[in-house]
Amino acid sequence: MKAYSLREICQEIEIDFEGRDVQIDGLHTLSEATPSQLSFFNAAKYANELSSTKAAAVIIEERYAHLLPSNTIALITDEPYLKLALASKLFAHTISAGGEYPSMGVRCDIDKRVRFGKNVQIGDNVTILAGCYIGDGVTIGSDTLLHPNVTLYHHTQIGSRCIIHAGTVIGSDGYGFAHTKTGEHIKIYQNGNVVIEDDVEIGANCTIDRAVFGSTYIRKGTKLDNLIQIAHNCDVGEHCLCAAQVGLAGSTILERNVVMGGQSATAGHLRVGAFATVAGKGGVTKSLEGKKTYAGFPAIEHKAWLKMQAMFSKMLKQK
């Protein structure tokens, strides 16, 4: 685990710092940060989390600094999101071409053309076919099958009895950038991981992005079709079904047994309730209640959508 003094971090991201120095071993959100982590604040809707944060220090604008607990250090800047991006690079995993033979259970069948990073842990009865890459610190549960050319980036966790089809990439970087005042885009390093729970099946050529902080989750029993994109920090609940070309934007939460029809998609930072169905090509732009069926763009209840289509059809016939 990487660690830096707060003074070192401030020098690197060009923030003035005076006062007590502490060791920082990571970054996290206000609600999840520990006393050894750095956090940030750049959206007023999260102001209620400032008073209860346990972060050692928070990158924050001066006008909000008084809301922090007395034992949390305020790092004052007028560009907190940009400074977060600069700090994230310090804690990024070091990428290298080196590798070593994994720790492996019994009765595994591993093609000789599979490449491993360091500290890989594999359970019993695991089958990994040609062309796969298994990155540093990956864990794979027992009875799991990886078809050819699957890529698992560093620190991905795969459960037991999973099936992952050819060409799927799990743990690639989420799409996150901060923007300078002159319009340049600065990478926010994605320092979380992906957790795939037990009994999940993932189709061919899917992409599941690692989290910025914490984990992107695919919960147990979920089944993903081919050509699906799951963005960073999504949480796909237990026993969900997603048909081909579904796209989930960052921090989407699907509760259990949600069904997403082909080419349906969600905007980010919303929740779809348990046992909801979104019809094919549906566009979810706000959180939806469970146990209902939705269609259209923006997605509305299916019965209302059918009535609206009938009205349009009638209007066209009258012309």
DSSP 158-225: E-TT-EE-TT-EEEEPP--EEE-TTS-EEE-----EEEE-TT-EE-TT-EEEPPSSSEEEE-TT-EE-
HSE (side-chain half, CA atoms, 13 Å) at 208: 33
Q: Closest by alpha carbon to 91, among 14, 171, 24?
A: 24
Domains of the chain: 4-91 (3.40.1390.10), 103-303 (2.160.10.10)
pLDDT level of residue 257 (50, 70, 90 thresholds): very high
pLDDT, tens digit, 9 for 90 and up, residues 178-210 = 999 999 999 999 999 999 999 999 999 999 999
pLDDT level of residue 319 (50, 70, 90 thresholds): low
**Greatest CA span in the chain, whole angstroms?**
76
> What's the whole-number average pLDDT of the chain?
96
Distance between CA atoms of residues 242 and 278, nearest Å? 10
pLDDT, average across residues 170-185: 97
pLDDT higher than 80, residue 243: yes
pLDDT higher than 90, residue 318: no
Q: Closest by alpha carbon to 109, among 146, 136, 137?
A: 146
What tokens does 304 get?
């209302």
Residue 99 contacts residue 117 (beta carbons within 8 Å) = yes
Catalytic residues: 232
pLDDT, tens digit, 9 for 90 and up, residues 129-147 = 999 999 999 999 999 999 9
